[in-house]
Amino acid sequence: MKTTVSTRIPKVIEKSLKNQKLFKKDVWGYADTNKHVVVLEKAMGQRTWIEIYLHEHLHNFFPDLPERHVTKLAGILADGIWKKGYRRTAKKTKTRKK
Ligand SMILES: [Zn+2]
């Protein structure tokens, strides 16, 4: 089996997916592999964010990889990153000059 690989870095969009009618079940993210866009729910816990971020990027880079493999890999990678203590920091806000 030949595996399709894309090296194109996706654009990441964070927004509320609560009322998305695109999917039947609740989703925390999705990857549009044709447009190279990863969309993430903006209200996620930090550990979940890491896993969903990796999960959707894996879909982007390996569009043929089965869902169960993407889920497994994203979980393993997220666990490793989390156990090393990596956390998201608050976004820097622009400070006005006086
Ligand atoms: Zn998936």
Q: Taking the domains of the chain in order of start, what are their residue ranges?
A: 11-83
pLDDT digits over 2-32, tens only?
788 999 999 999 999 887 666 567 789 999 9
Q: How far is the CA of 90 from the centre of ligand 1 (A)?
A: 27
Q: How far is the CA of 70 from the centre of ligand 1 (A)?
A: 6
Q: How far is the CA of 58 from the centre of ligand 1 (A)?
A: 8
30 pairs with which residues across the strands? 39
- Orientation angle between helical segments 67-83 and 46-61, nearest 10 degrees: 140
How far apart (Å, rounded) are the C-alpha atoms in residues 29 and 22? 12
pLDDT digits over 33-42, tens only?
999 999 999 9
Q: How far is the CA of 16 from the centre of ligand 1 (A)?
A: 18
pTM: 0.85
Percent of the chain exceeding pLDDT 70 equals: 89
Q: How far is the CA of 31 from the centre of ligand 1 (A)?
A: 8
Give the closest residue to 54 by CA, choosing from 79, 34, 35.
79
